[in-house]
Structure 1
Amino acid sequence: MSNKELSWRRHWKPDLMANTWQPLTIQRNQYFIKFHMNDDSYEILVNDRVHTWYEMCDCKMFKKRCKKLNPSIEAPVSRLLDHLWNNLQKQKKESEFRVEEKTSSEFVLSMNSSLAAGVPFTWKFNCQTASQDMISSNLTVPLLTMVSELQRRQDELFKLLQKKDTEIEDYKLSGAKVSRKHLETVPFDKTVFENEMNTSQSFEREVKSSGTSAFTSSGQDLYQQIMMKNAWLERDVEDEESDEDEEGVSSSDRLTSSGTSPSVDTSRLPPSYLKAQRSPSPKKSPAKLSPEKSPANVKDTELMRREALERRLAMEESKLASKKKKTKKGLF
């Protein structure tokens, strides 16, 4: 996982899709519930393995329904939403869930519970048929992805077991022996393993349960990881790049305003310069330049000084050349 994705995960806010399904048994019937809440609203999905229902309740609707069902209760919306969340997540024994109405197009789930002070609290989730897109994105596609990912992980485990068998065989050839006989295992055989799984009693129980145990703790974790990875892959890259560009521009502006060019490689600068940059000398009030020391006059003086120096060097070279010629004439 890249550092960029790790940074994105720290700032990403999960939505309904990222929340996992919770198994809930109501009147001996198995349901799966998905719940997501904000500060003043909630969303819920309910599935009975045949139909899927959905409800989105905003703040105004929540207050109106709460006043109707619990006229004597006055509490912040956020606190009551936390109460709903805790009851759906933990499914406390003292809380009672009951299906009041169930058709292909409508589903009403009531919850009777008690607040912290023992005050009774009643709530009804009035759900309607979920759209096909919502069913696909929250259930069908994630489940298919879970199956393919579990298959990939199983193949990786098969490869690892074969490597372990090769390692154990090498130890045995070197004279190593198992200290306790019951710890010794036979070499792994993929075909034998799959046949044993297909004919076991556990396999029969899983088929009879119709996927009831699909969302145990490990299944829920895998579901969340898949939905998080999916959100990362489907993020708006254009907006992300524009944000990075803006951050880069602002960083460049800050560097330029501080007097340091953003393209300067500080590793190539002398330590004395870096020390001077880190510990700047106190600012002095600018002294007024006299006409003789104005920038223009200083520049002209420097130019005249260079020209005079070049003339003097030329004269010295000319004298030196003439001396060499006289010396050569004297020799001949």
Structure 2
Amino acid sequence: MEGSEELESSLLTQPWASVCFGESAFLAKACFRDTGYILLISDLSSVWYESADAETVGQRSKPDAATSFSCHRAASGLSLHVKSELSGLPFYWDFHCCLAPVEMVSRHLVRPLIQMSLALQYQVQELTSLLLQKDAEIEDYRESGAALSRDRLQTKPFQEEMFQQNFMAEVRSAASLPSFSTGVVGSWS
């Protein structure tokens, strides 16, 4: 039987998805098994989670034909109310999430984001170096008398400083956005 530690370990492999409940935007990931489920949800100000075993699921399930989604934030946690259909059958569920412990937030959100950021920084450095090398190679060809057979292939030399300035401007702009971009994370339906 899979315990809560195994569910949380399985949750690590799940991608984050962007979800909206009314006007509220969240990032969420979940893992559902025969033995229960675990849900992690964040508005990037707070992170909440709920873990429930099969017995809790059985006690709480209440079929209903209506379809709706709602959420309620309180100091003690976050409640998500879902009414829908699942495989043609009515599905009704309340998720009762409490604040996630710091270690869980670090394990599922902070560390993966930092690792991804470091990997992307490394890739940007590698691509910058490659572009600068390509510009030097093209310049060497030009100095040797080579010419492009098609003018439309002509490019301007890569300007590393301008690239860095534009990149930082985009980062600052993205940091001020009020909601999540579904193009980056994906959508949960």
Q: Is the 8 A contact 2:64 2:83 kept in 1?
A: no
Tell me if 1:213 matches 2:184: no
Identify if the C-alpha distance between structure 1 residues 182 and 18 changes in structure 2 by more than 3 Å, giving closer, same or farther: same
Alignment deviations for residues 180-227 of structure 1 (CA, whole Å, 9 cap, x no partner): 32321121121122223445xx55641322682398259xxxxxxxxx
Greater fraction strand: 2
User: Which ranges in structure 1 are unaligned for 5 or more consecutive residues?
Assistant: 1-13, 73-93, 219-332
Distance change in 2, residues 1:212/1:26 (3 Å) = same
| Aligned match of 2:48 | 53
Cα distance in 2, alignment partners of residues 71 and 21 from structure 1? 28
Of 85, 96, 121, the residue aligned with 1:114 is 85
- Counterpart for residue 39 of structure 2: 44
TM value normalised by structure 1: 0.48
Whichever of the two has the greater Rg, that structure is: 1
Contact in 1 for aligned 2:36/2:51 (Cα 8 Å): yes
Which AA in structure 1 matches 2:76? S
Partner residue, 1:34 = 29
Query: Which residues in structure 2 correspond to 1:16-31 (within 5 Å)?
Result: 16-31=11-26
* Maintained 8 Å contact 2:69/2:81: yes
> Larger relative CO (CA 8 A, sep 6+): 1 or 2?
2
Shift of 1:15: 1.2
TM-aligned CA deviation for residue 178 of structure 1: 2.2
Contact kept in structure 2, 1:113 and 1:122, CA below 8 Å: yes
Match of residue 70 from structure 2 = 98
Q: More displaced, 139-148 or 42-51?
A: 139-148
RMSD across aligned positions (CA) = 2.7
Query: Contact 1:21–1:215 at 8 Å: present in 2 too?
Result: no
Identity %: 30
Count of aligned pairs: 178
Superposition TM-score, scaled by structure 2 size: 0.81
Shift in CA distance, 214/164, structure 1 to aligned 2, threshold 3 Å? farther
The residue type equivalent to 2:157 in the other structure is P
